[in-house]
Structure 1
Amino acid sequence: MQTPQSYRPGYPLQRLFIPLPFVCFILALATDIAFWQTVNLMWQNFSSWLLFAGLVFGAFAIVAAGIDLLRSSTRPLRPPLVGVVGFAVMLLLAFVNSFVHAGDGWTAVVPTGLALSAATFLVILLTLAFSARSNHALNWSTP
Structure 2
Amino acid sequence: MSDASHGEASAYPFQLLFVPFPFVCFSLTLATDIAYWRTANLMWSNFSAWLLFAGLVAGGLAILAGLVDLLRRRTRPMRPSFVSIILFIVMLILAFINSLVHAGDGWTAVVPYGLLLSAITFVVSLMAVSASSRKYARLAWRV
> 1:77 corresponds to which letter in structure 2?
M
Q: Which amino acid aligns with 2:127?
A: L
Distance in 2 of aligned mates of 1:138 and 1:13: 22
- Quick one: distance in 2 between partners of 1:69 and 1:57? 18
Closer/same/farther in 2, CA of residues 102 and 133 from structure 1, 3 Å limit: same
* 1:76 counterpart = 2:84: no
Tell whether the 8 Å contact from 1:29 to 1:114 is kept in structure 2 after alignment: yes
Pairing 1:127–2:124 present? no
Letter in 2 for 1:63: L
What whole-Å deviation, never above 9, does each CA across 1:63-122 have from its counterpart, x for those lacking one?
A: 000000111111221101111011000000000000000011100000000000000010
TM-score by length of 1: 0.89
The TM-score, its normalising length taken from structure 2, stands at 0.89
CA distance in 2, matches of 1:8, 1:56: 26
User: For 2:13 and 2:140, how far apart are their aligned partners in 1?
Assistant: 11
Q: CA deviation at 1:7?
A: 9.2
For 1:2-29, what per-residue CA distance to the aligned partner results, in whole angstroms no more than 9, with x for missing partners? 87x8799700000000000000000000
Matches within 5 A, 1:6-25: 10-25=11-26
Measured against aligned partners, the alpha-carbon deviations of 1:108-138 in whole angstroms (never above 9, x if no partner) come to: 0000000000000100111111221112449
**Are 1:41 and 2:10 an aligned pair?**
no
Question: Which consecutive unaligned segments of at least 5 residues does structure 1 have?
Answer: none
Distance 2:71 2:112 in 1: 43
- The RMSD of aligned alpha carbons is 2.2
Cα distance in 2 for residues equivalent to 1:20 and 1:66: 18
TM-aligned CA distance change 1:33 to 1:76, over 3 Å: same
Matched, 1:65 2:62: no
Q: Whole-Å Cα distance in 1 between the matches of residues 64 and 30 of structure 2?
A: 26
CA distance in 2, matches of 1:133, 1:115: 28
* Aligned residue pairs, count: 137
Q: Distance in 1 between matches of 2:9 and 2:21?
A: 27
Task: State the identity as a percent.
Answer: 60
Q: Deviation above 2 Å: which 4+ runs of structure 1?
A: 5-9, 135-139
| Structure with higher helix content | 2
